[in-house]
Protein backbone atom coordinates (compact mmCIF):
# COMPACT_ATOMS: atom_id res chain seq x y z
CA UNK A 1 0.00 0.00 0.00
CA UNK A 2 2.77 2.44 0.97
CA UNK A 3 4.71 1.55 -2.19
CA UNK A 4 1.61 2.23 -4.32
CA UNK A 5 1.09 5.63 -2.66
CA UNK A 6 4.77 6.46 -3.18
CA UNK A 7 4.53 5.48 -6.85
CA UNK A 8 1.45 7.66 -7.38
CA UNK A 9 3.11 10.65 -5.69
CA UNK A 10 6.32 10.14 -7.68
CA UNK A 11 4.37 9.92 -10.94
CA UNK A 12 2.49 13.14 -10.15
CA UNK A 13 5.80 14.90 -9.40
CA UNK A 14 7.23 13.67 -12.71
CA UNK A 15 4.18 14.94 -14.58
CA UNK A 16 4.41 18.37 -12.97
CA UNK A 17 8.14 18.62 -13.64
CA UNK A 18 7.98 17.93 -17.36
CA UNK A 19 4.74 19.87 -17.96
CA UNK A 20 6.15 22.93 -16.21
CA UNK A 21 9.44 22.59 -18.07
CA UNK A 22 7.66 22.82 -21.44
CA UNK A 23 5.72 25.96 -20.51
CA UNK A 24 8.62 27.69 -18.76
CA UNK A 25 10.97 27.14 -21.72
CA UNK A 26 8.36 28.75 -24.00
CA UNK A 27 8.13 31.80 -21.71
CA UNK A 28 11.92 31.87 -21.37
CA UNK A 29 12.11 32.39 -25.12
CA UNK A 30 10.00 35.54 -24.82
CA UNK A 31 12.04 36.71 -21.83
CA UNK A 32 15.47 36.29 -23.46
CA UNK A 33 14.33 37.86 -26.72
CA UNK A 34 12.87 40.83 -24.82
CA UNK A 35 16.14 41.35 -22.93
CA UNK A 36 18.09 41.08 -26.20
CA UNK A 37 15.91 43.64 -27.97
CA UNK A 38 15.94 46.05 -25.01
CA UNK A 39 12.28 45.75 -24.00
CA UNK A 40 11.26 46.46 -20.44
CA UNK A 41 10.55 43.20 -18.60
CA UNK A 42 8.30 43.87 -15.63
CA UNK A 43 8.04 40.34 -14.19
CA UNK A 44 9.27 36.85 -14.92
CA UNK A 45 7.48 34.27 -12.85
CA UNK A 46 7.66 30.53 -12.45
CA UNK A 47 4.29 29.14 -11.40
CA UNK A 48 1.24 31.21 -10.53
CA UNK A 49 -0.63 32.41 -7.45
CA UNK A 50 0.68 34.39 -4.48
CA UNK A 51 4.49 34.35 -4.65
CA UNK A 52 6.26 32.22 -2.06
CA UNK A 53 9.50 33.89 -3.15
CA UNK A 54 10.27 36.99 -5.19
CA UNK A 55 13.22 39.26 -5.80
CA UNK A 56 13.83 42.28 -8.03
CA UNK A 57 17.08 42.18 -10.00
CA UNK A 58 17.99 44.99 -12.43
CA UNK A 59 14.39 46.15 -12.61
CA UNK A 60 12.87 42.70 -13.20
CA UNK A 61 10.78 41.04 -10.51
CA UNK A 62 11.50 37.30 -10.44
CA UNK A 63 9.01 35.18 -8.52
CA UNK A 64 8.04 31.64 -7.63
CA UNK A 65 4.32 31.03 -7.12
CA UNK A 66 2.59 28.22 -5.27
CA UNK A 67 0.45 26.89 -8.15
CA UNK A 68 2.64 24.62 -10.34
CA UNK A 69 1.15 25.54 -13.71
CA UNK A 70 3.97 26.88 -15.88
CA UNK A 71 5.20 30.46 -15.91
CA UNK A 72 4.74 33.94 -17.37
CA UNK A 73 6.62 37.04 -18.47
CA UNK A 74 5.08 40.55 -18.31
CA UNK A 75 6.08 42.82 -21.20
CA UNK A 76 4.16 46.13 -20.98
CA UNK A 77 5.44 47.36 -24.37
CA UNK A 78 3.77 44.48 -26.20
CA UNK A 79 0.02 44.32 -26.88
CA UNK A 80 -1.89 44.56 -23.55
CA UNK A 81 -2.37 41.19 -21.82
CA UNK A 82 -3.83 42.31 -18.49
CA UNK A 83 -6.84 39.97 -18.90
CA UNK A 84 -4.52 36.98 -18.63
CA UNK A 85 -1.32 38.13 -16.91
CA UNK A 86 -2.52 40.96 -14.69
CA UNK A 87 -1.30 44.56 -14.67
CA UNK A 88 2.37 45.38 -14.89
CA UNK A 89 4.08 47.47 -12.24
CA UNK A 90 4.91 50.15 -14.80
CA UNK A 91 2.38 51.51 -17.27
CA UNK A 92 2.78 51.25 -21.04
CA UNK A 93 2.56 55.01 -21.54
CA UNK A 94 5.54 55.56 -19.23
CA UNK A 95 7.80 53.46 -21.49
CA UNK A 96 9.34 54.26 -24.88
CA UNK A 97 7.62 52.73 -27.88
CA UNK A 98 9.27 49.82 -29.64
CA UNK A 99 9.34 48.99 -33.31
CA UNK A 100 7.27 46.28 -35.02
CA UNK A 101 10.38 44.17 -35.70
CA UNK A 102 11.17 44.00 -31.98
CA UNK A 103 7.61 42.89 -31.26
CA UNK A 104 7.76 40.21 -33.96
CA UNK A 105 11.08 38.85 -32.67
CA UNK A 106 9.86 38.72 -29.07
CA UNK A 107 6.55 37.10 -30.03
CA UNK A 108 8.23 34.54 -32.31
CA UNK A 109 10.85 33.59 -29.70
CA UNK A 110 8.38 31.63 -27.54
CA UNK A 111 7.27 29.22 -30.30
CA UNK A 112 10.91 29.04 -31.49
CA UNK A 113 12.08 27.88 -28.05
CA UNK A 114 9.26 25.33 -27.90
CA UNK A 115 10.34 24.04 -31.30
CA UNK A 116 13.99 23.89 -30.26
CA UNK A 117 13.04 22.00 -27.10
CA UNK A 118 11.09 19.57 -29.30
CA UNK A 119 14.26 19.04 -31.34
CA UNK A 120 16.28 18.38 -28.20
CA UNK A 121 13.73 15.83 -26.97
CA UNK A 122 13.54 14.28 -30.44
CA UNK A 123 17.31 13.81 -30.46
CA UNK A 124 17.13 12.12 -27.04
CA UNK A 125 14.29 9.85 -28.23
CA UNK A 126 16.34 9.02 -31.34
CA UNK A 127 19.27 8.02 -29.12
CA UNK A 128 17.41 6.03 -26.44
CA UNK A 129 14.58 4.81 -28.68
CA UNK A 130 10.81 4.96 -28.45
CA UNK A 131 9.10 1.90 -26.93
CA UNK A 132 6.36 0.82 -29.33
CA UNK A 133 3.70 -1.74 -28.53
CA UNK A 134 2.80 -4.35 -31.11
CA UNK A 135 -0.84 -3.25 -30.90
CA UNK A 136 0.13 0.25 -32.03
CA UNK A 137 2.47 -0.64 -34.89
CA UNK A 138 0.71 -3.51 -36.65
CA UNK A 139 -1.86 -3.24 -39.43
CA UNK A 140 -3.00 -6.86 -39.03
CA UNK A 141 -6.48 -7.52 -37.67
CA UNK A 142 -6.37 -9.60 -34.50
CA UNK A 143 -9.97 -9.69 -33.40
CA UNK A 144 -13.27 -8.98 -35.13
CA UNK A 145 -16.15 -8.29 -32.73
CA UNK A 146 -19.19 -10.45 -33.57
CA UNK A 147 -22.16 -8.66 -35.17
CA UNK A 148 -20.21 -5.39 -35.49
CA UNK A 149 -19.86 -3.58 -38.86
CA UNK A 150 -16.44 -5.09 -39.63
CA UNK A 151 -17.76 -8.61 -39.06
CA UNK A 152 -20.72 -7.92 -41.35
CA UNK A 153 -18.32 -6.55 -43.97
CA UNK A 154 -16.41 -9.84 -43.95
CA UNK A 155 -13.26 -9.06 -41.95
CA UNK A 156 -11.30 -12.03 -40.60
CA UNK A 157 -8.47 -12.28 -38.06
CA UNK A 158 -5.18 -12.17 -39.93
CA UNK A 159 -6.36 -9.69 -42.57
CA UNK A 160 -3.69 -7.07 -43.27
CA UNK A 161 -5.19 -3.61 -43.79
CA UNK A 162 -3.43 -1.67 -46.54
CA UNK A 163 -5.65 1.40 -46.84
CA UNK A 164 -8.69 2.97 -45.16
CA UNK A 165 -11.05 5.32 -46.98
CA UNK A 166 -8.49 5.67 -49.77
CA UNK A 167 -5.57 6.48 -47.44
CA UNK A 168 -2.54 4.24 -47.04
CA UNK A 169 -1.98 3.09 -43.45
CA UNK A 170 1.22 2.04 -41.69
CA UNK A 171 0.05 1.53 -38.11
CA UNK A 172 -3.08 0.70 -36.16
CA UNK A 173 -3.25 3.62 -33.72
CA UNK A 174 -2.27 7.29 -33.73
CA UNK A 175 -3.12 10.44 -35.70
CA UNK A 176 -0.78 9.83 -38.63
CA UNK A 177 -1.32 7.12 -41.28
CA UNK A 178 -3.27 4.96 -38.85
CA UNK A 179 -6.30 2.73 -39.16
CA UNK A 180 -8.13 4.28 -36.21
CA UNK A 181 -7.54 7.83 -37.45
CA UNK A 182 -8.90 7.23 -40.93
CA UNK A 183 -11.91 5.41 -39.48
CA UNK A 184 -12.88 8.32 -37.20
CA UNK A 185 -11.91 10.83 -39.91
CA UNK A 186 -14.07 9.19 -42.60
CA UNK A 187 -17.14 11.12 -43.71
CA UNK A 188 -19.16 8.70 -45.86
CA UNK A 189 -21.76 6.22 -44.68
CA UNK A 190 -19.54 3.41 -45.97
CA UNK A 191 -15.84 3.10 -45.13
CA UNK A 192 -13.85 1.23 -47.81
CA UNK A 193 -10.93 -0.92 -46.61
CA UNK A 194 -8.24 -2.31 -48.87
CA UNK A 195 -6.89 -5.51 -47.31
CA UNK A 196 -4.53 -8.36 -48.08
CA UNK A 197 -5.76 -11.85 -47.25
CA UNK A 198 -3.20 -14.46 -48.13
CA UNK A 199 -2.26 -13.83 -51.76
CA UNK A 200 -5.40 -11.79 -52.48
CA UNK A 201 -5.94 -8.05 -52.28
CA UNK A 202 -9.58 -7.32 -51.50
CA UNK A 203 -11.81 -4.30 -50.90
CA UNK A 204 -14.26 -4.57 -48.01
CA UNK A 205 -16.92 -1.94 -47.36
CA UNK A 206 -17.84 -1.44 -43.72
CA UNK A 207 -20.41 0.62 -41.93
CA UNK A 208 -19.71 2.04 -38.49
CA UNK A 209 -21.21 2.53 -35.05
CA UNK A 210 -20.90 5.19 -32.38
CA UNK A 211 -21.19 4.07 -28.74
CA UNK A 212 -23.94 5.79 -26.83
CA UNK A 213 -23.02 8.86 -24.79
CA UNK A 214 -25.07 11.26 -22.73
CA UNK A 215 -25.58 14.94 -23.45
CA UNK A 216 -22.78 16.24 -21.25
CA UNK A 217 -20.22 13.70 -22.47
CA UNK A 218 -18.02 13.90 -25.54
CA UNK A 219 -19.78 12.51 -28.57
CA UNK A 220 -18.23 9.17 -29.40
CA UNK A 221 -16.43 8.70 -32.70
CA UNK A 222 -16.78 6.06 -35.38
CA UNK A 223 -15.88 2.45 -34.66
CA UNK A 224 -16.03 -0.64 -36.87
CA UNK A 225 -15.33 -3.37 -34.31
CA UNK A 226 -11.78 -4.57 -34.95
CA UNK A 227 -8.75 -4.87 -32.69
CA UNK A 228 -5.08 -5.16 -33.65
CA UNK A 229 -3.28 -8.48 -33.80
CA UNK A 230 -0.97 -8.98 -30.85
CA UNK A 231 1.18 -11.84 -29.67
CA UNK A 232 -0.72 -13.43 -26.74
CA UNK A 233 2.12 -12.90 -24.28
CA UNK A 234 1.63 -14.12 -20.70
CA UNK A 235 2.51 -11.43 -18.16
CA UNK A 236 1.46 -13.20 -14.98
CA UNK A 237 -0.21 -16.46 -13.94
CA UNK A 238 -2.47 -16.64 -10.88
CA UNK A 239 -1.50 -19.30 -8.37
CA UNK A 240 -3.90 -22.28 -8.35
CA UNK A 241 -5.65 -21.20 -11.58
CA UNK A 242 -6.37 -23.53 -14.50
CA UNK A 243 -3.47 -21.88 -16.35
CA UNK A 244 -1.07 -22.57 -13.47
CA UNK A 245 -2.30 -26.17 -13.21
CA UNK A 246 -1.65 -26.60 -16.94
CA UNK A 247 1.94 -25.42 -16.51
CA UNK A 248 1.70 -22.06 -18.25
CA UNK A 249 4.42 -19.63 -17.12
CA UNK A 250 5.05 -15.88 -17.37
CA UNK A 251 6.64 -14.81 -20.69
CA UNK A 252 5.09 -17.76 -22.53
CA UNK A 253 3.76 -16.92 -25.98
CA UNK A 254 0.59 -18.80 -26.84
CA UNK A 255 0.86 -18.95 -30.61
CA UNK A 256 -1.98 -21.35 -31.54
CA UNK A 257 -5.09 -23.08 -30.21
CA UNK A 258 -6.38 -26.28 -31.76
CA UNK A 259 -3.75 -25.89 -34.49
CA UNK A 260 -5.12 -22.46 -35.52
CA UNK A 261 -2.83 -19.43 -35.34
CA UNK A 262 -3.73 -17.15 -32.47
CA UNK A 263 -3.98 -13.46 -33.31
CA UNK A 264 -5.59 -12.25 -30.07
CA UNK A 265 -6.21 -13.68 -26.55
CA UNK A 266 -9.98 -13.32 -27.05
CA UNK A 267 -9.86 -16.28 -29.45
CA UNK A 268 -9.10 -18.58 -26.53
CA UNK A 269 -12.48 -17.77 -24.99
CA UNK A 270 -14.21 -18.09 -28.35
CA UNK A 271 -12.62 -21.50 -28.94
CA UNK A 272 -13.76 -22.68 -25.51
CA UNK A 273 -17.30 -21.44 -26.25
CA UNK A 274 -17.47 -23.27 -29.58
CA UNK A 275 -15.97 -26.47 -28.05
CA UNK A 276 -17.87 -26.54 -24.73
CA UNK A 277 -16.34 -28.69 -22.03
CA UNK A 278 -13.30 -29.70 -24.06
CA UNK A 279 -9.72 -29.10 -22.85
CA UNK A 280 -7.93 -26.30 -24.68
CA UNK A 281 -5.03 -27.56 -26.86
CA UNK A 282 -2.49 -24.73 -26.76
CA UNK A 283 0.76 -24.35 -28.67
CA UNK A 284 3.22 -22.41 -26.55
CA UNK A 285 6.54 -20.81 -27.46
CA UNK A 286 8.86 -20.85 -24.45
CA UNK A 287 12.53 -19.89 -24.56
CA UNK A 288 12.61 -20.45 -28.31
CA UNK A 289 11.06 -23.93 -28.11
CA UNK A 290 7.54 -24.95 -29.09
CA UNK A 291 5.62 -27.09 -26.61
CA UNK A 292 2.04 -28.34 -26.47
CA UNK A 293 -0.04 -27.72 -23.35
CA UNK A 294 -3.58 -28.77 -22.56
CA UNK A 295 -5.51 -26.37 -20.31
CA UNK A 296 -8.87 -27.04 -18.70
CA UNK A 297 -11.61 -24.59 -19.75
CA UNK A 298 -12.41 -21.86 -17.24
CA UNK A 299 -15.71 -20.14 -16.52
CA UNK A 300 -16.30 -16.36 -16.54
CA UNK A 301 -15.51 -14.87 -13.13
CA UNK A 302 -17.59 -11.96 -11.82
CA UNK A 303 -15.36 -8.97 -10.98
CA UNK A 304 -17.99 -6.25 -10.40
CA UNK A 305 -21.71 -5.93 -9.66
CA UNK A 306 -23.52 -2.58 -9.89
CA UNK A 307 -25.63 -1.80 -6.85
CA UNK A 308 -29.41 -2.19 -7.44
CA UNK A 309 -28.79 -3.71 -10.87
CA UNK A 310 -30.58 -6.89 -12.02
CA UNK A 311 -27.48 -8.91 -11.12
CA UNK A 312 -27.40 -7.38 -7.64
CA UNK A 313 -31.12 -8.01 -7.13
CA UNK A 314 -30.61 -11.64 -8.23
CA UNK A 315 -27.91 -12.10 -5.59
CA UNK A 316 -24.86 -12.41 -7.84
CA UNK A 317 -21.65 -11.54 -5.98
CA UNK A 318 -18.09 -10.66 -6.93
CA UNK A 319 -16.11 -13.89 -7.22
CA UNK A 320 -19.02 -15.97 -8.52
CA UNK A 321 -18.46 -17.96 -11.69
CA UNK A 322 -21.03 -18.26 -14.46
CA UNK A 323 -21.54 -21.88 -15.56
CA UNK A 324 -24.49 -21.66 -17.94
CA UNK A 325 -26.75 -19.25 -19.79
CA UNK A 326 -30.29 -20.65 -20.13
CA UNK A 327 -28.82 -24.11 -19.39
CA UNK A 328 -26.21 -23.80 -22.17
CA UNK A 329 -22.60 -24.02 -20.87
CA UNK A 330 -20.81 -20.68 -21.11
CA UNK A 331 -17.10 -19.94 -21.33
CA UNK A 332 -17.07 -16.56 -23.07
CA UNK A 333 -18.75 -13.73 -21.09
CA UNK A 334 -19.48 -11.79 -24.27
CA UNK A 335 -22.24 -14.33 -24.93
CA UNK A 336 -24.17 -12.82 -22.01
CA UNK A 337 -23.80 -9.29 -23.37
CA UNK A 338 -24.93 -10.42 -26.82
CA UNK A 339 -27.96 -12.12 -25.26
CA UNK A 340 -28.96 -8.95 -23.39
CA UNK A 341 -28.50 -6.78 -26.48
CA UNK A 342 -30.52 -9.14 -28.68
CA UNK A 343 -33.45 -9.52 -26.24
CA UNK A 344 -33.31 -6.64 -23.72
CA UNK A 345 -36.89 -7.16 -22.49
CA UNK A 346 -36.77 -10.95 -22.12
CA UNK A 347 -35.68 -12.54 -18.81
CA UNK A 348 -33.14 -15.36 -18.79
CA UNK A 349 -31.37 -17.72 -16.40
CA UNK A 350 -27.77 -17.96 -15.25
CA UNK A 351 -26.26 -20.90 -13.41
CA UNK A 352 -23.91 -19.56 -10.75
CA UNK A 353 -21.12 -21.27 -8.83
CA UNK A 354 -20.13 -19.81 -5.46
CA UNK A 355 -17.33 -21.91 -4.01
CA UNK A 356 -18.70 -25.45 -4.25
CA UNK A 357 -22.34 -24.35 -4.27
CA UNK A 358 -24.32 -24.09 -7.52
CA UNK A 359 -27.61 -22.28 -8.04
CA UNK A 360 -29.72 -20.84 -10.85
CA UNK A 361 -30.91 -17.24 -10.84
CA UNK A 362 -33.30 -15.35 -13.09
CA UNK A 363 -32.50 -11.88 -14.44
CA UNK A 364 -34.53 -9.26 -16.28
CA UNK A 365 -32.30 -6.65 -18.01
CA UNK A 366 -32.95 -3.06 -16.91
CA UNK A 367 -31.95 0.39 -18.11
CA UNK A 368 -29.60 2.45 -15.87
CA UNK A 369 -30.49 6.01 -14.84
CA UNK A 370 -30.27 8.44 -17.75
CA UNK A 371 -29.48 5.78 -20.36
CA UNK A 372 -31.54 3.93 -22.93
CA UNK A 373 -29.68 0.62 -23.22
CA UNK A 374 -30.56 -2.30 -20.97
CA UNK A 375 -27.85 -4.14 -19.02
CA UNK A 376 -27.70 -6.62 -16.14
CA UNK A 377 -24.99 -4.72 -14.24
CA UNK A 378 -22.20 -7.25 -14.13
CA UNK A 379 -18.50 -7.06 -14.97
CA UNK A 380 -16.13 -9.91 -15.67
CA UNK A 381 -12.49 -10.45 -14.79
CA UNK A 382 -10.25 -10.38 -17.88
CA UNK A 383 -8.10 -13.11 -16.31
CA UNK A 384 -10.73 -15.71 -15.42
CA UNK A 385 -8.42 -18.50 -16.64
CA UNK A 386 -5.68 -17.11 -14.39
CA UNK A 387 -3.66 -15.42 -17.12
CA UNK A 388 -2.86 -11.71 -17.07
CA UNK A 389 -1.90 -10.79 -20.61
CA UNK A 390 0.61 -8.21 -21.74
CA UNK A 391 -2.09 -5.99 -23.23
CA UNK A 392 -0.06 -4.42 -26.04
CA UNK A 393 1.70 -7.59 -27.12
CA UNK A 394 5.43 -7.52 -27.74
CA UNK A 395 7.21 -4.24 -27.07
CA UNK A 396 9.96 -3.10 -29.40
CA UNK A 397 12.21 -0.04 -29.24
CA UNK A 398 12.43 1.96 -32.46
CA UNK A 399 14.91 4.74 -33.21
CA UNK A 400 13.11 7.43 -35.21
CA UNK A 401 15.16 10.33 -36.57
CA UNK A 402 14.42 13.77 -35.10
CA UNK A 403 13.17 15.09 -38.45
CA UNK A 404 10.71 12.19 -38.77
CA UNK A 405 9.41 12.88 -35.27
CA UNK A 406 9.01 16.59 -35.97
CA UNK A 407 7.30 15.91 -39.31
CA UNK A 408 4.87 13.46 -37.66
CA UNK A 409 4.06 16.03 -34.97
CA UNK A 410 3.39 18.72 -37.61
CA UNK A 411 1.23 16.27 -39.56
CA UNK A 412 -0.71 15.50 -36.37
CA UNK A 413 -1.72 19.12 -35.83
CA UNK A 414 -2.43 19.52 -39.56
CA UNK A 415 -4.72 16.48 -39.55
CA UNK A 416 -6.54 17.75 -36.48
CA UNK A 417 -7.11 21.24 -37.88
CA UNK A 418 -8.23 19.75 -41.20
CA UNK A 419 -10.78 17.56 -39.43
CA UNK A 420 -12.09 20.50 -37.38
CA UNK A 421 -12.54 22.66 -40.48
CA UNK A 422 -14.39 20.00 -42.47
CA UNK A 423 -18.18 20.44 -42.06
CA UNK A 424 -18.80 16.70 -42.65
CA UNK A 425 -16.27 15.55 -40.06
CA UNK A 426 -17.43 13.94 -36.81
CA UNK A 427 -14.46 15.53 -35.02
CA UNK A 428 -15.48 18.75 -33.29
CA UNK A 429 -13.96 21.21 -30.82
CA UNK A 430 -15.21 19.05 -27.94
CA UNK A 431 -12.75 16.35 -29.02
CA UNK A 432 -9.74 18.63 -28.51
CA UNK A 433 -7.69 17.82 -25.41
CA UNK A 434 -7.12 20.57 -22.83
CA UNK A 435 -4.73 20.79 -19.87
CA UNK A 436 -6.58 18.11 -17.89
CA UNK A 437 -6.29 15.51 -20.63
CA UNK A 438 -2.67 16.45 -21.37
CA UNK A 439 -1.77 15.98 -17.71
CA UNK A 440 -3.69 12.70 -17.62
CA UNK A 441 -1.80 11.51 -20.71
CA UNK A 442 1.51 12.32 -19.06
CA UNK A 443 0.38 10.47 -15.94
CA UNK A 444 -0.48 7.34 -17.93
CA UNK A 445 2.85 7.49 -19.74
CA UNK A 446 4.89 7.92 -16.58
CA UNK A 447 2.95 5.08 -14.95
CA UNK A 448 4.36 2.78 -17.66
CA UNK A 449 7.59 0.82 -17.25
CA UNK A 450 9.03 2.95 -20.09
CA UNK A 451 7.66 6.16 -18.57
CA UNK A 452 10.40 8.69 -19.33
CA UNK A 453 11.03 7.41 -22.84
CA UNK A 454 7.33 7.66 -23.72
CA UNK A 455 6.96 11.04 -21.97
CA UNK A 456 9.87 12.48 -23.94
CA UNK A 457 8.33 11.25 -27.19
CA UNK A 458 4.96 12.80 -26.28
CA UNK A 459 6.76 16.02 -25.35
CA UNK A 460 8.07 16.26 -28.91
CA UNK A 461 4.48 16.20 -30.17
CA UNK A 462 3.28 18.56 -27.45
CA UNK A 463 6.04 21.14 -28.04
CA UNK A 464 5.50 21.21 -31.79
CA UNK A 465 1.77 21.61 -31.17
CA UNK A 466 2.45 24.37 -28.63
CA UNK A 467 4.66 26.19 -31.13
CA UNK A 468 2.29 25.90 -34.09
CA UNK A 469 -0.89 26.71 -32.17
CA UNK A 470 0.74 29.79 -30.66
CA UNK A 471 1.65 30.94 -34.17
CA UNK A 472 -1.99 30.99 -35.26
CA UNK A 473 -2.96 34.60 -36.19
CA UNK A 474 -5.31 35.01 -33.25
CA UNK A 475 -5.00 38.01 -30.92
CA UNK A 476 -3.60 37.08 -27.49
CA UNK A 477 -1.57 34.24 -29.05
CA UNK A 478 1.98 34.85 -30.27
CA UNK A 479 0.79 34.71 -33.86
CA UNK A 480 -1.69 37.45 -33.04
CA UNK A 481 1.11 39.65 -31.68
CA UNK A 482 3.03 39.10 -34.92
CA UNK A 483 0.01 40.04 -37.06
CA UNK A 484 -0.65 43.16 -34.98
CA UNK A 485 3.01 44.17 -35.33
CA UNK A 486 2.83 43.66 -39.11
CA UNK A 487 -0.30 45.83 -39.28
CA UNK A 488 1.53 48.46 -37.28
CA UNK A 489 4.46 48.29 -39.71
CA UNK A 490 2.14 48.71 -42.71
CA UNK A 491 0.27 51.64 -41.08
CA UNK A 492 3.57 53.13 -39.86
CA UNK A 493 2.03 54.03 -36.56
CA UNK A 494 0.99 52.09 -33.45
CA UNK A 495 -2.52 50.68 -33.21
CA UNK A 496 -4.80 52.60 -30.87
CA UNK A 497 -4.27 51.30 -27.35
CA UNK A 498 -8.01 51.27 -26.61
CA UNK A 499 -8.64 49.12 -29.68
CA UNK A 500 -5.86 46.76 -28.61
CA UNK A 501 -7.29 46.47 -25.12
CA UNK A 502 -10.77 45.63 -26.43
CA UNK A 503 -9.47 43.08 -28.98
CA UNK A 504 -7.07 41.41 -26.55
CA UNK A 505 -9.65 41.36 -23.75
CA UNK A 506 -12.33 39.85 -25.97
CA UNK A 507 -9.94 37.19 -27.28
CA UNK A 508 -8.78 36.45 -23.74
CA UNK A 509 -12.37 35.78 -22.70
CA UNK A 510 -12.90 33.54 -25.73
CA UNK A 511 -9.69 31.63 -24.97
CA UNK A 512 -10.59 31.18 -21.32
CA UNK A 513 -14.09 30.07 -22.34
CA UNK A 514 -12.65 27.55 -24.81
CA UNK A 515 -10.29 26.13 -22.18
CA UNK A 516 -13.19 25.74 -19.75
CA UNK A 517 -15.24 24.11 -22.52
CA UNK A 518 -12.65 21.42 -23.36
CA UNK A 519 -11.76 20.97 -19.67
CA UNK A 520 -15.41 20.20 -18.96
CA UNK A 521 -15.29 17.32 -21.44
CA UNK A 522 -11.82 16.28 -20.24
CA UNK A 523 -13.19 15.95 -16.71
CA UNK A 524 -15.81 13.48 -17.94
CA UNK A 525 -13.02 11.12 -19.00
CA UNK A 526 -11.11 11.11 -15.72
CA UNK A 527 -10.90 7.57 -14.32
CA UNK A 528 -12.49 8.47 -10.99
CA UNK A 529 -15.43 10.32 -12.58
CA UNK A 530 -18.56 8.27 -11.98
CA UNK A 531 -20.94 10.35 -14.14
CA UNK A 532 -20.45 8.10 -17.16
CA UNK A 533 -20.81 4.89 -15.16
CA UNK A 534 -24.09 3.03 -15.08
CA UNK A 535 -26.14 3.65 -11.92
CA UNK A 536 -29.47 2.42 -10.60
CA UNK A 537 -31.07 4.78 -8.07
CA UNK A 538 -33.68 2.18 -7.13
CA UNK A 539 -33.48 -1.63 -7.20
CA UNK A 540 -34.22 -3.21 -10.56
CA UNK A 541 -37.39 -5.23 -10.97
CA UNK A 542 -36.82 -8.93 -10.20
CA UNK A 543 -37.28 -11.33 -13.11
CA UNK A 544 -40.54 -13.28 -13.07
CA UNK A 545 -40.39 -17.05 -12.53
CA UNK A 546 -39.65 -19.09 -15.63
CA UNK A 547 -43.21 -20.41 -15.96
CA UNK A 548 -44.78 -16.94 -16.11
Give the lowest-confidence range in 4-8, 346-350, 363-367, 383-387.
4-8
pLDDT digits (tens, 9 = 90+) for 295-318: 998 888 998 999 999 999 999 999
Higher-confidence residue: 391 or 237? Answer: 237
Say if residue 29's pLDDT is above 90: yes
Please state the separation of Cα 322 from the chain's center in Å. Answer: 32
pLDDT of residue 83: 47
pTM of the entire predicted model: 0.82
Lowest mean pLDDT among 131-145, 211-225, 404-418, 468-482: 211-225
The dihedral of CA 252, 256, 261, 266: what is its sign? negative
A 10 A CB-CB count for 89 gives 13
- What pLDDT sits at residue 263? 92
CA distance 518 to 532: 17
What does the pLDDT look like over 481-503, one tens digit per residue?
899 889 888 988 887 778 877 88
Q: What is the pLDDT of residues 316-358, one digit of tens each?
A: 999 899 999 998 999 888 889 889 988 988 999 999 998 888 9
Ordered domains of the chain (ranges, CATH): 2-128+431-524 (no CATH), 134-229+392-398 (2.30.42.10)
CA distance 155 to 142: 10
pLDDT tens-digit profile of 259-293?
Answer: 899 999 888 888 988 888 899 999 999 998 999 99
Average pLDDT over residues 396-414: 92
111 CA to centre of own chain:
25
- Give the pLDDT confidence score for residue 500 in this predicted structure: 79
Residue-wise pLDDT tens digits, 61-108: 889 888 887 888 888 878 665 545 555 556 555 677 788 899 999 999
Residue 423's alpha-carbon distances to 417, 419, 420, in angstroms, are 12, 8, 8
Least confident segment among 56-70, 133-147, 152-166? 56-70
Position 162 confidence tier, pLDDT thresholds 50, 70, 90? very high
Q: Please report the sign of the dihedral spanned by the C-alpha atoms of residue 19, residue 20, residue 24, residue 25.
A: negative
Q: What are phi and psi of 76, to 5 degrees?
A: -60, -25
Torsion on CA atoms 472, 473, 475, 476, rounded to nearest 10 = 30
Report long-range pairs for 351-358 (Cβ below 8 Å, ≥24 apart): 351/322, 351/323, 351/324, 351/325, 351/327, 352/316, 352/320, 352/321, 352/322, 352/323, 353/299, 353/320, 353/321, 353/322, 353/323, 354/317, 354/319, 354/320, 354/321, 358/323
Rounded to 5°, angle at Cα 538 from 534 and 544: 100
Amino acid sequence: MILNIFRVVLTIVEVLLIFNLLIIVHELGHFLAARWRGLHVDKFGIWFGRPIWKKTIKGVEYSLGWIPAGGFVLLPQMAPMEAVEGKAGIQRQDLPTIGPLDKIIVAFAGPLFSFLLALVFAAIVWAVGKPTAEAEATTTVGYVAPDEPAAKAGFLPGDVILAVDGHRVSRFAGLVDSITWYVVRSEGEIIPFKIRRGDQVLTLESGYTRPETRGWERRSLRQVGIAPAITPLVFKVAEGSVAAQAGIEPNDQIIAIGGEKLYHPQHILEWAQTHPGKPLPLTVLRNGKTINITMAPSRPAVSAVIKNSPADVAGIKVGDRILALDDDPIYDPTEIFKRVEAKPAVPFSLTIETGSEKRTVRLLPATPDGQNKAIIGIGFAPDSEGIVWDGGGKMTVVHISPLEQIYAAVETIGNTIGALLSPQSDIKLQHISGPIMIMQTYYRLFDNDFGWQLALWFSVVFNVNLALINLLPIPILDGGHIVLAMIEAIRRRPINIRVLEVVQGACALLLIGFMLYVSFYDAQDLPWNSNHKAKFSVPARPAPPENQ
